[in-house]
Chain A
């Protein structure tokens, strides 16, 4: 994003240094909670419960992380990580697939009920899981999907946002391509696979980043439907690691788990930064 022309509003000297100072301070303040969690995950329990805790990492990194990963508090964190991964990928892929298909139907066909379905999908925007907590729980329980991956994934899989995004994009695909496909006698699905899907690659990738984080960071829904610790996701499972009553929490293990819970989404966001920003801007438009 560097600008080619720096005219007379160029900043130099003291002003520039001050700007850097503010930015560094901002980054430090914003990073501090994460740093402190990391430090806590590398020291021993006695070092934490006798404040002030150190500000520099200790020597117990492997000890704490292996305890978290392989024994945890209720269930090994590895199990929760796998559950989160399945849920996040399931939601992201599921949303993308059903949205690609329905956007293709809406853009490239005229069929009875088209407008009705379009508005129906639109209206799901107004129904976040938070406003239909109890009845959705009852539906999932009725299907026997409590404590299952299906129960974690399906109720969150409909996506008005993704459908609209793909619809907008499909509308920009030149008509000549569809025309040519029809002249060649290609069937619609052939056109979908050979032209539409390859052209949507970037959009799919950008959306995947956003949806993966959405799925990974879910809290309320897994909290409701996974009563079996074996099915807990890592984001909701951390709260379950705190003891009830007056017992002292096992801070090093809990903080190691917090760090483990943020690593996958952070890797996705930072490594796919351009796609992430694109997806963020697109999906909010």
Chain B
């Protein structure tokens, strides 16, 4: 779509767009270019000189068992976070949608966690499950279950998943709730007249009508669990134990900043860049579809 009425001149618009373009160039494109460039070199341990290795860093990464493990960890992590945040959100939204009065109050209560930063969510959950003082881990201990996410990789994963999914429930709830409110009453009532009970109506009518929202949320939740959960992981497990919660973004950070392995960290950045690109394309394809829906 274009405007038919426009103003003349070219200097003014260039000046108007300049701040955005300069910031993008300096802090987005130049660093991204640097990442691509650096991914082709290996720096010596002192950072004094570097040697061109072509795709050597990539070849090394793709045969590195820690990196491949990190891929698997990321996949498991994002699937779990997506499921654990979408299913409770859908359930709560369906319940709220059944209410004629009072859903506003519940909604106000439920959006709180959205405002809580992932890193803070990490601290709250760490506190509940802390091996020394945690309330939940203490009760688990009384029940005979020895909770120790510091040593047990599975428990560590469970904890970062729950802490990451928790704040996301608010977000998904809002989208599901809005979509449910938009389901035409007439369709529901027609089904009710035909004798379909609540859950049958839900599975056969409501859920299919929610599919655009569901698909949209699937994509954004995967993006969220890939890129925005760093704070949760850093506060709760720092990637451990034995790298069992080291997702790809965490590995870029730990190899680049802690390990100072610039070539490998840059190559990992480039791989992430490709993943974001793919996810963005999926997201936009879908948005196009949703417009026509």
Which residue numbers of A lie inside 8 Å of B, CB to CB? 1-3, 5-11, 15-16, 19-20, 22-23, 26-27, 30-31, 33-34, 36-37, 40, 48-49, 51-53, 97-99, 101-102, 104-114, 117, 120-121, 123-128, 130-140, 154-155, 157-159, 163, 170-171, 175, 178-179, 182, 188-189, 191, 213, 216-217, 219-220, 223-224, 235-236, 238-239, 248, 251, 254-255, 258, 261-262, 265-266, 268-270, 273, 276-277, 280-281, 284-285
Contact = CB atoms under 8 A, between A and B. Distances in A.
Interface stretch (B59-67, B149-157, B227-235): B227-235
Q: For the side of the interface on B, what is the size category?
A: 35 or more
In the A-B complex, list the 3 residue pairs whose CB atoms are closest, starting with the nearest.
Answer: A217-B117, A135-B31, A219-B231
A273 B101 CA distance: 18
Given A19-B98, A48-B133, A188-B7, A268 B115 contact: yes
A105 B19 CA distance: 12
B109 A31 contact: yes
Max chain B CB contacts within 10 Å: which of A3, A10, A20, A110? A110
Contacts of A270: 108, 111-112, 115
Given A34-B124, A105-B16, A273 B111 contact: yes
Nearest to B102: A20
A30 B3 contact: no
B234 A223 contact: yes
A123 B27 CA distance: 13
Contact of B115 (A159, A262, A281): A262
Given A7-B185, A51-B133, A134-B266, A284 B220 contact: yes
Contacts of B27: 136, 139-140, 154-155, 157-158
B7 to A, nearest CB: 4
A65 B192 CA distance: 55
Contacts of B210: none
Contacts of B25: 120
A280 B171 contact: yes
Nearest to B266: A134
Interface of B: 1, 3-7, 9-10, 12-14, 16-17, 19-21, 23-32, 34-35, 38, 88, 91-92, 95-96, 98-104, 106-121, 123-125, 127-128, 132-135, 138-139, 166, 169-171, 174-175, 178, 181, 185, 188-189, 192-193, 198, 216, 220, 227, 230-231, 234-235, 249, 252-253, 256-257, 262, 265-266, 269, 272-273, 276-277, 280, 287
Given A34-B116, A108-B7, A280 B269 contact: no
Nearest to A262: B116
B174 to A, nearest CB: 6
B38 to A, nearest CB: 7
B127 A37 contact: yes
Nearest to A24: B106
Contact of A27 (B38, B109, B123, B266): B109
A236 B198 CA distance: 46
Q: Taking chain A's interface residues, is the majority helix, strand, or loop, or is none over half, making it mixed? A: helix
Contacts of A33: 121, 124-125, 127-128, 166
A34 B257 contact: no
A105 B24 contact: no
A285 to B, nearest CB: 7
A236 B266 contact: no
**Centre residue among A105, A137, A178, A188 by max chain B CB count within 10 A:** A105
6 contacts: A15-B98, A52-B139, A108-B3, A109-B6, A131-B276, A269-B112
A8 B118 CA distance: 43
Contact of B28 (A130, A132, A163, A179): A132
Contact of A8 (B24, B128, B193, B249): B193
Contacts of A2: 100-101
A189 to B, nearest CB: 8
Contacts of A188: 7, 9, 12
A22 B138 contact: no
Nearest to A285: B287
Given A34-B124, A188-B7, A130 B230 contact: yes
A235 B29 contact: no
Contacts of A51: 132-135, 138
Contact of A175 (B5, B123, B265): B5
